[in-house]
Amino acid sequence: MHYLDEGQGSPILMIHGNPTWSFYYRNLVTEFSKSNRVVAPDHIGCGLSDKPRHYEYTLKQHIDNLEKLVLELKLKDFVLIVHDWGGPIGFGLIQRHPDLVRKIVILNTAAYTSKVIAFQINMCRIPILAEQVIRRLNGFALTATYMAVAKKMSPEIRRGYLYPYDSYDHRIAIARFVADIPMNRKHRSFRTLKNIELSLSQHHCPRLILWGMRDFCFHDYFLNRWREIYPDATIKTFESAGHYILEDAGDEIIKELKQFL
């Protein structure tokens, strides 16, 4: 399991989603490692981590991996920043260790069950289509570099996002993440996610929600769910930012984070 561990001081733990990797947080790592210890892992199957073919790419397994990393690095009293799949994975960690987190930052994610799903994402859950589009054509990660941003992504940054996912075998986790979205009670990850949802109310630390409003995946419905769960959270919306909010509003995000920290 590959991870970045930069800087010294009060720790910040940054958890990425799918189909990104720690590269998503590169500008935050550069900025906040000047004053803090910043840890940003790549989930197994993602980024520079191993990409085994025969592996349990489930929500529980990703939480287990993150828990092992955090305990081995002896991280405590940290600020947790989550995006996309980093939401349920990060909240899954602090469900088990609520005493370790000091503050929480939520970026366009969900950590609760829902029957709402974007059409494009749902189509990629069809097994045969997923193998062809996601793994053979790299359609999921490549398309995200266009659809997940409101501002055009530069070719250099696009190459950065796609760098770890350069072959059929290296895209296995991307496909498995999509398949692991629990849309009904019979899904193997439903109970894990439901238990995380039930634990959200136990987190009484300061919470900051930073939300890109032009997100085709995590749209208003998901933001409103967070408003219901954390009515006392500080919320800042960005009208010209998409799902990859750090690409579209990176400078503003850094300002908000500095104030929050």
Q: What is the pLDDT, as a whole number, of residue 124?
A: 78
The amino acid at 187? H
The kind and range of the H/E element at 3 are strand 3-6
The amino acid at 30? T
Q: Render pLDDT for 97-106 as a digit per residue (tens, 0 to 9).
A: 999 999 999 9
Q: Cβ neighbours of residue 44 under 8 Å, at least 6 residues apart?
A: 1, 50, 51, 52, 55, 57, 61, 62, 65, 173
* Alpha helices (H) along the chain: 26-32, 59-72, 86-96, 119-123, 127-130, 139-147, 155-162, 172-179, 190-199, 220-229, 245-248, 250-260
For residue 73 the two structure tokens come to 């690095």
- Residue 185 gets which letter from DSSP? T
- Spans of the chain, pLDDT less than 70: none
Q: Render pLDDT for 194-226 as a digit per residue (tens, 0 to 9).
A: 999 999 999 999 999 999 999 999 999 999 999
Total structural domains within the chain: 1
Establish how many alpha carbons lie within 13 A of residue 228's alpha carbon, considering only the half-sphere containing its beta carbon.
Answer: 10
Residue with tokens 């990703």: 62
> CA dist 38 to 118, 183, 254, Å?
32, 33, 14
The amino acid at 237? T
Which residues span the domain enclosing 149? Answer: 3-260
Q: What is the pLDDT, as a whole number, of residue 126?
A: 83
> CA dist 97 to 64, 66, 109, 130, 207, Å?
12, 12, 20, 35, 17
Q: What is the pLDDT, as a whole number, of residue 123?
A: 85
CATH number of residue 37's parent domain: 3.40.50.1820
